[in-house]
Amino acid sequence: MKRSQKETEDSARAISRRSMVMGGLMLATSGALAARMRYLQVERASDFRLLAEENRINIQLLPPARGLIYDREGRVLANNEQNYTVVMVRENADDVDAVLDRLSRIVRIDMRDLARAREEMMARAPFVPVTIADRLSWEEFASIAVNAPALPGITPEVGLSRIYPFGQDFAHVVGYVGPVSDFYLESTGDTDPVLQIPDFQVGRYAVESHMEQDLRGETGSRRVEVNAAGRVMRELDRTPPTPGKDLQLTVDTGLQNYAQARLTDESASAVVMDVDSGEVLALVSAPSYDPNLFVRGISTAEYGNLTDDPYRPLASKTVQGTYPPGSTFKMITALAGLEAGVIDPEETITCNGSIELGTRRFHCWRRGGHGRMDLVDGLAQSCDVYYYELAQRVGIDAISAMARRFGLGDRHDLPLSGVASGLVPDRDWKRANRGAEWVVGDTLNAAIGQGFVLNSPLQLAVMTSRIATGRAVRPHLVRTVNGIDQRPAQDEDLGIDPDHLAVIREAMWNVTNVRRGTAYSSRTVEEGFEIAGKTGTSQVRSITSEERAAGVTRNEDLPWERRDHALFVGYAPAEAPRYAVSVVVEHGGGGSTVAAPIARDLLLRTMHGTVPPSSAYPVGQRRDMERMHDTMDLLPLDPLNPTGRTRA
């Protein structure tokens, strides 16, 4: 049917409207696409360029070189040595097992190391590098580098590893480093990115641990371009790491080595301090161990040998060990009595070998007694009865207060592990910890350094330094950090009457220089090198009345672990004190026969700066001392070679 003109015109207008609508929609769509393209290509160009670069650019962390540790003379105690390692990134390897198999054909790798590496890779994110083997030889390192195209994901690297040139001599002072463990991360809350670097090591003990933040340094980084297989093509830029700070300690390597050798075959400890500055010159715990074993990975058998040793080589006895101080505590009791005004130095007390207190009898170490004793003789001959009487007059409160003034019961602030506070007991302590009231018998025991009293060798050395100077000498171990002086300000006066200190010093001089003194056999005969000191013997077992009646069993006839501890504290030169020493020999027997000779040798070595000459000893002892020094394992320290020789 033929359309009318009107229908044709209406149809044409409808088509035109549709065309315009469609054209508008197409134009709007084209405009939106153009705007989106402009947004993506112009406004977001930098963002997408970064995403594209991340597909071909890796950012790698660069570990800082750990700060070095030196002794007071500049000898290196903790150094860094070059270490060749091979690491693997799981996401860059097509087939981990196949790559590891090819690697093991190029260099010999222990199957246990391969198993550990596989386990670690599965436990970590795929982009985290994992160490397959370290301490490779140069030939092995070069072989891996040459075969790199056939080892996707494998990268040979050159790093640094810690080494301790003097081995066991400084194990308890410097400590050691070890790998970053999950326990370390949880216990410290440390989030430093450098801890994610394969086999990065942190301080685990002593100075290495307590000065970790100074020694670690700051992480660096580098951007490298990699190909599709993850192989590094070129380095784009680098931010170098900041090395850790170097530490200089106060210890003297020669003296430390001499002391370690002098304590050979003993379970013992020794501390030597400069009484003027408070610097710790030697801090020795015997036996010791080689810290390099922990850096390289100690075996189960080696670790078992250390933990099973009854002499406890892993324990730092100088600061962790606490012992009844025995008669080395008597200076504290004497000073408490003098300061309280309850005793005159010239007043005498008669010692008949024991005293009775209620139903108990308190014995003197000398069974027949000492007779009439004044303060100086009572200390020089270590009369227990004199101090029993004095203790009843002065009381525990004054004794405890005096002990704290001389640094006992104080946790001295040194960067070492497990520094003990010791124990200076009083009424409140016993009530809180034993649920009982203090009794007079407790005071008598405390007065002679027995009962509840416990002190560390470090605390005894501090006590001796304060007696020698009358100042509140504080020990310190770090001399400088990156060359910046760390030594504390001058110590304040203790406020003790100088006349009272003079009496104590006279008595300590008599201990080693008067024939009836308990350490007379350990005297020196060299003018200007005389020693003042005090012996101590602390019981570790109870002696029954039956045993006393039959005769007390000699130490040498007892099992080792039931023998008395031997102690000695002293300073030198006696007329112008410069150095203080404390020596504790576990289950050594008598302080006069075991600890005093060791302390005498350490003070002579400190004053002379070298092996003591035989002329410093009494004539009858010179040949024995020469033989002893000839057999000691001493380092041939060369002042022109401050690194010494390795004991690793």
DSSP states of 293-329: HHHH---HHHHHHHHH-TT-TTS-HHHH--B--GGGG
Query: Strand, helix or coil at 543?
Result: coil
Distance between CA 253 and CA 250 in Å, rounded? 10
Strands 579-585 and 565-572: antiparallel
Pair 369, 352: CB distance under 8 Å: yes
Closest by CA to 341, choosing from 500, 503, 505, is 500
Location of structure tokens 């050691």:
176
Q: Pick the catalytic residue: 327, 417, 456, 582? A: 327
Phi, psi of 558 (to 5 degrees): -100, 155
Residue 555 amino acid letter:
N
Phi, psi of 81 (to 5 degrees): -120, 155
Query: Strand, helix or coil at 129?
Result: coil
Distance between CA 543 and CA 360 in Å, rounded? 13
Distance between CA 130 and CA 90 in Å, rounded? 8
Closest by CA to 438, choosing from 397, 468, 378, is 397
Does the annotation count 327 as an active-site position?
A: yes
Cis peptide bond N-terminal to 573, omega within 30: yes
> Could you count the other beta carbons within 10 Å of the beta carbon of residue 561?
11
Residue 263 amino acid letter:
L
Query: Strand, helix or coil at 637?
Result: coil
Distance between CA 239 and CA 563 in Å, rounded? 61
Pair 602, 591: CB distance under 8 Å: no
DSSP states of 354-382: EEEETTEEEE-SSTT--EEE-HHHHHHTT
Residue 300, both tokens: 């189960």
Distance between CA 128 and CA 120 in Å, rounded? 10
Beta bridge partners of residue 76, listed in sequence order: 70
User: How buried is residue 220: exposed, middle or buried, by Cβ count under 10 Å (0-12/13-18/19+)?
Assistant: middle
Residues 371, 375, 381: CA angle, nearest 5 degrees: 55
Cis peptide bond N-terminal to 345, omega within 30: no
* Torsion of Cα atoms, 540 then 545 then 546 then 552, to 10°: 50
- Count how many Cα atoms sit within 13 Å of the Cα of residue 212 in the half-sphere of its side chain: 20
How many secondary structure helices (H) and strands (E) does the chain include?
A: 23, 21
Which residues are identified as catalytic? 327
